[in-house]
Amino acid sequence: MIKQISVFVENKMGRMAEITKTIGEAGVDIRALSVADTSDFGILRLIVDRPEEAVESLRKAGITVTLTDVVAVGVDDIPGGLASAIEAISNAEINIEYMYAFISRTGGKAYVILRVDNIESAATALEQRGIQLLSGEEIYNM
Q: 2-68 has which CATH code?
A: 3.30.2130.10
9: Cβ contacts below 8 Å, ≥ 6 apart = 15, 16, 19, 35, 37, 41, 42, 43, 44
Residue bearing the bigger pLDDT, 14 or 4: 4
Distance CA 7, CA 57 (A): 12
Which sequence spans correspond to the domains of the chain?
2-68, 69-140
Do the domains 2-68 and 69-140 sit in the same CATH topology, yes or no?
A: yes
Mean pLDDT in residue range 90-119: 85
For residue 54, pLDDT beyond 90: yes
For residue 12, pLDDT beyond 90: no
Q: What is the pLDDT of residue 137?
A: 84
Number of helices followed by number of strands (H, E) in the chain: 5, 7
Q: What is the pLDDT of residue 33?
A: 92
Q: What is the pLDDT of residue 29?
A: 93
Mean pLDDT in residue range 4-31: 93
CATH architecture entry for 69-140: 2-Layer Sandwich (3.30)
